[in-house]
Amino acid sequence: MTQKVLFVCLGNICRSPIAEAVFQNLVNQKGLSNQWVVDSAAIGPWHVGKQPDHRARQILQNHNIPYNGRARQIEKKDFNEFDFIFGMDEENISDLHSRAPKDSKAKILLLGDFDPEGDKIIRDPYYDDGSEGFEKCYKQCLRASEGFLKQHIN
């Protein structure tokens, strides 16, 4: 069975591309890439078509994780195509709930709910001066993705 997961943040240029790349890399390493469809999207339209922020790209490169995606905005149909839609913070979750059609199939969840260290909120590092917030985001995404996969691998 294929399961479809969508990672969502405000701009789709910092947190959700990191989450997407980390999750895809994990299922590749575990030999499970045929069982998972992985994507990411933005709440807002501002950066549609753009590559991730240079700091996000650098963090992924530092960890040898490939990423070729471009930002896109979430669409109504995503709520029925994906099984899980992950937000990074509470604002993402409330935005997602307010956009979800009534018959939405997707479970809307905080990615950080699956962090075994209990660090639930993946904060927005976009306005930071440096890249420390991006490294922290990477580590949170890795722990939470591992945590989620443990629960959802048959």
Where does this chain bind ligand 4NP (CB under 6 A)?
9-15, 46, 124, 126
Tokens of 80: 């029925």
Nearer to ligand 4NP, 44 or 147 (CB): 44
CB of 16 to ligand 4NP, least distance (A): 6
For 109, counting Cβ atoms within 10 Å of its Cβ (0-12 exposed, 13-18 middle, 19+ buried), the class is middle
- Residue 40: how many CB atoms within 10 A of its CB? 27
Nearer to ligand 4NP, 81 or 91 (CB): 91
Q: Which of 15, 78, 95, 141 is catalytic?
A: 15
**Sign for the pseudo-dihedral over CA of 54, 60, 66, 72:** negative
Q: How many CA atoms lie within 13 A of 82 on its CB side?
A: 25
Query: Which residue's beta carbon is nearest to the bound ligand 4NP?
Result: 11
Q: Which of 55, 115, 124, 141 is catalytic?
A: 124
143 is catalytic: no
CB of 13 to ligand 4NP, least distance (A): 4
57 is catalytic: no
CB of 138 to ligand 4NP, least distance (A): 12
Nearer to ligand 4NP, 84 or 126 (CB): 126
137 is catalytic: no
CB of 17 to ligand 4NP, least distance (A): 7
- If we measure between CA atoms, which residue out of 154, 101, 100, 93 comes closest to residue 120? 93
Helix (H, G, I), strand (E, B) or coil at 119: coil
On whether the CB atoms of residues 80 and 105 are closer than 8 A, the answer is: yes
Catalytic residue ranges: 9, 15, 124
